[in-house]
Amino acid sequence: MEERVLELKAEILKALAQPTRLKILELLRNGERCICEIVPAINGEQSNISRHISMMQKNHLVTTRKDGVKVMVKVKDPEIFEILNKVSFILKRQMKEQEKLFSHI
């Protein structure tokens, strides 16, 4: 596969691969949210969350629109959530394996 394509794929995955951003995306499972709702909901610094959202926007994971003073954010593609679901699935299986390994204790 071409180097450029791999870089673009890596960028999409990188945009997902961070706890604070995952937290934001989980909040967005139920649809559009205002940044002013996200900040208290995930108990983060406003400037930090602003940066994370603008980062995800650059990587086309989310879109935003202005509503007065507020900025509404939503996830662009539903496939994003399918990816997160698969990651959950893999993690759960890993956990089960770990349990098995220590079940003799």
Question: Which residues share a beta bridge with 71?
Answer: 66
Q: State the minimum distance, in angstroms, from the CB of residue 61 to DNA.
A: 12
Instruction: CB nearer to a copy of itself: give 43 or 68.
Output: 43
Instruction: CB nearer to DNA: give 14 or 29.
Output: 14
Question: Is 12 a binder of DNA (CB under 7 A)?
Answer: no
Question: Which residues share a beta bridge with 74?
Answer: 63
Question: Is 60 a binder of a copy of itself (CB under 8 A)?
Answer: yes
Question: Is 99 a binder of a copy of itself (CB under 8 A)?
Answer: no
What lies within 8 Å, CB to CB, of 75 at 6+ separation is: 25, 28, 29, 61, 62, 81
